[in-house]
Amino acid sequence: MKSYLVPALIAVGLGLAGCSDKSDTASSETTTAGGELAAPDVAANPAGTIIKTISASPAHKALAAAIAQAGLTQMLSGAGPFTVFAPADDAFNQVAPVTRDGWMRPDQKDGLAALLKYHVVPGKLTAADLSAKIAEGGGEALLKTADGRDLTARISGNSILLISASGNKAIVTQPDVEQANGVIHVVDAVLIPAG
């Protein structure tokens, strides 16, 4: 790893320290303050690409901006297929503002690209595929991300729980958003690889 990325990743880990205490039991249903089920964050688009869908999503403005800043637009427009764990804006809002702003600095482009590639798994893995891999692994599946690092998946209640190499956790809140070049699973936290 390049030496200038280490301080950035340490800052990221510190900025997300409060986001890592999700329990291993969670519900996949998202509700509004009134108790009714919330609208999905993104819509399936079997004829569109992952990047077009994320860019059009009102709940993924931070992710779309980060993808553009990191220079990953072309990758996520490509044939794939890809499985993308897409943090919603609420997930980015859990990160300390100084850390979020740091990610977007031009001199942090490589670090931001590595962070975002940690949310991408080559190949198309639906929720059923992920659940099958978890069952085959005796309750845990190790996924190899686009940046070559490991990401752990487990079942948590009725949801899929992702555990990063640094130990923070994210729940899949909206699975199986089908795209022409793969599938998007919306997650409730930004996953941080180990420094």
Q: pLDDT tens, 102-118?
A: 888 988 899 999 999 99
> What's the pTM value of the predicted model, to 2 decimals?
0.79
- Per-residue pLDDT, 101: 85
Return the bridge partners of 122, or none: 82
Instruction: Give me the number of domains the chain comprises.
Output: 1
Tell me: pLDDT of 41 over 50. Answer: yes
Distance from C-alpha of 188 to C-alpha of 88, rounded to nearest angstrom: 6
- Please give the pLDDT value at position 45: 64
3-state DSSP assignment of residue 116: helix
Residue 64 counted as domain residue: yes
Classify residue 43 as exposed, middle or buried by CB count within 10 Å of its CB (0-12, 13-18, 19+): middle
pLDDT class of 42 with cuts at 50, 70, 90: low
H or E element, residue 65: helix 61-70
Distance CA 146, CA 149 (A): 7
Tell me the residue range of the domain where 138 lies: 5-23+42-187
Query: Would 30 be classed as within a structural domain?
Result: no
Domain with 173 in it: what CATH number? 2.30.180.10
Please indicate, yes or no, if residue 193 is contained in any of the structural domains: no
- 57: in domain: yes
Query: Could you tell me if residue 37 is inside a domain?
Result: no
How many other CB atoms are there within 10 angstroms of residue 144's CB atom?
A: 12
**Res 74 pLDDT > 60:** yes
Rounded average pLDDT over 139-146: 96
Render pLDDT for 178-188 as a digit per residue (tens, 0 to 9).
999 999 999 99
Query: Which residue would you say has higher pLDDT here, 38 or 155?
Result: 155
